[in-house]
Structure 1
Amino acid sequence: MTKTEATTAPRPEDRSADNDPAELIGNLARAGRAAQSRLARLSGPEKAHALQLAASRLRESEEEILAANVRDVDAAREAGLSGALLDRLTLDSARIEGIASAVEAVAVLPDPVGQKIDRTERPNGLVLERVRVPIGLLGIIYESRPNVTADAAALCVRAGNAVLLRGGSEAVHSNRAIHAAMVSGLAEGGVPADAVQLIPTQDRAAVGAMLAAAGLIDMIVPRGGKSLVARVQADARVPVLAHLDGICHTYVHNAADPAMARKIAYNAKLRRTGICGAMETLLLDAQFPDSAALVGDLLDGGCEVRGDARAQSLDSRITAASPQDWDTEYLEAVLSVAVVDGLDNAVDHIAAHSSGHTDVIVTEDAAAAEEFLAVVDSAIVMVNASSQFADGGEFGLGAEIGIATGRLHARGPVALEGLTTYKWLVRGGGQIRP
């Protein structure tokens, strides 16, 4: 396939004259599936080279991307978006460099396509292998964060998948600028332009059309707020890989090192409050000796703290928590705090209120740590570390599509392996079944 062939496919506006959302999505999906069949023929080094070129285009397009982002941020500020959402939306030179570096990090990861999962030989001589293959055409629906445009494109291309991207209206100009830069570099590297398509409309009906596109889109990945994900899960006729809330807990055990606990709790909540790995509930063991100082650090750092009766006794600035607080993903500088009587009480609280995203214990007691790891049923369970490490890049996976909290197909940070499935290869020597 030549570079010219990769860039001469008809554009979205040529495919749907009447702007009917179902027709538009159908045409884009069919173009994406055709592109995916060509993308699947590229070697690992060819895909890696195309991603390196895309990263270079992102850096070269910094001025255009930042100008587009200013339009989005100004509109978002006028619309009254929260500080946490504005933080997710805002780009600067350092963040663009981070986006480009994340694309490069994906480029150098081992190509999952064709990896052998296992091999067995049957008594009759048949040799069976399972190998990783692309899923096909993915639909990714996301809000606020324009970096998802590049992350999703890079991961999908590296795993041999085509993708339809539908970003939120608050980041529309940023997404278009990042997408244009990415596709320019990918196409120069031989990746079909239609392998990475950005839905050219913000009409909500286009999301409905994506969710109904069974047989055209192979998997939907929603990445955004609770209402978006709930709608996708309720309406989709296409398999969905998703999580709802990031209600992440940190339990400070009675054997926690006080200095470590204070440092971890502060970072888990206040490093960045608007990410899904931010701590939303702090559980303090009744026997932990430094609870007042730990909570004081958070209050002094500008965090609003809502607590149960025992937590309120630690500091007069703590207000009363409502029953809803234990089930709330704040995504801002607000924290719920409960005092618990031991490990079992903490685990029970987590089981009742965790969203299954990331839960942490801080302790110097190895037995307590291992018990916590064994019994807490979340996608990510940590010992003596900030929950803000719940990130594909921090796990060494490069960029991520998101954190999956279900139990099927993929769980935790979804990166290259989570964007593949497998097929069986069976090699015989003339065997017939008796």
Structure 2
Amino acid sequence: MGEAEAWRWLEGANVAAPYGYWADGVDSGVQGGRPDLALLLSDRVATFSGLFTTNAVQAAPVRLTREIHRQGRALAVVVNSGNANAVTGEAGEADARRMQELTADAIGAPREWVAVASTGVIGVPMPMDRIAAGIRQLGERLGNCRGMAAGSTPCHERARQEGAPLAARAILTTDTRPKTWALEVDLEGGRVRLGVMAKGSGMIHPGLATMLVFITTDAAVEKAFLDAALREAVDRSLHRLTVDGDQSTNDMVLAWANGASGVAVLSAEDRRRFAGALTALLVQTARAIAADGEGATHLLTVTVRGAASEADAALKARRVAGSSLVKAAVYGRDPNWGRVLAAAGSVGDAFDPGNASLTMNGMPLLDHGRPLPFDEAAAARAMEAEEVVFELQVGDGPGAATAWGCDLTEGYVHINAHYRT
């Protein structure tokens, strides 16, 4: 059975699709009139892995959750939107720990098992009175689900159908839509599920993890393998994503593996299938974030082949996807393909443009260095598609990779010129 046959998407599913997870979201009043505080909880302590921003300016919740990550076990994460709790000094550190303590009390667990994440405006003190009230509200909503550890099916179904969609909305900032889905994969010992919820629209660029992403699985996974699989999946998905070239202070990707399915990832084939499913889940996430880039009207997909290595192909593809000139041309439906070549040639290993070939949405534009005649009007019509795909062959090397971005519009400027106002 190949990778594509081993896993399948679960229609309409979300981060609570794997067994043993509960999620919910409430309106704490920080964003005003919409859910803005979320809780994601496993019914048992889970193997825990994560990747975090490498920005030197790191928000208080990032530093706190790094501590949880080092112990390799966790139970829950509490997430607020509307305030990043970044560059907020000692008060911000105390507020992050207060969120952790309040959540631990609400779920009846040690605070060391609770991660914290925040997203929103930088440099503004946390409205802790509203946050605290929201956490208490989440605890009350958990209420009758405290029997979840004993396998409460009604509680799990309520979390899947009602709570998890609210949680996926509560973590958004400038996003226009929630990003949550799930798949299942067949292992030698049985079937397991993986779910995700994510937010990301602006300040999206690799190094490391480029948004908030929360992954759940009911498989039993050893810590070392979960770390390695997450790193590889992120390198082939979220690290090939760019919206605006700006890296956030709050980025993190967190993963829980609670073993509630009773199925362990053991053999080499199991590991291959699980890693493939995790990568597919995060590729879907990367595509969705790019398509929902601030002000975007097109998803931009760039595939580079024939490079010296996969890493070089990924570098070139991401450079094209992040080029302001390419992004503006896509918005204007202008098949100015020279910008693609110029961007690819500006990074990584040199290549001979005389060997390069390029297509756009299947339309040949360049063949081994020879510009091809094409119908400008037909090319512009092809660029009206929701997804604009450039495929660039730079040589005959073994490296191939795909990166994702979006077009650059007046909407991006408008959103970010008035983000606080």
TM category, shorter: under 0.3
In proportion to residue count, which structure has more strand? 2
In proportion to residue count, which structure has more helix? 1
**TM-score (norm. length: structure 2):** 0.26
**TM-score (norm. length: structure 1):** 0.26
Higher Rg of the two aligned structures: 1
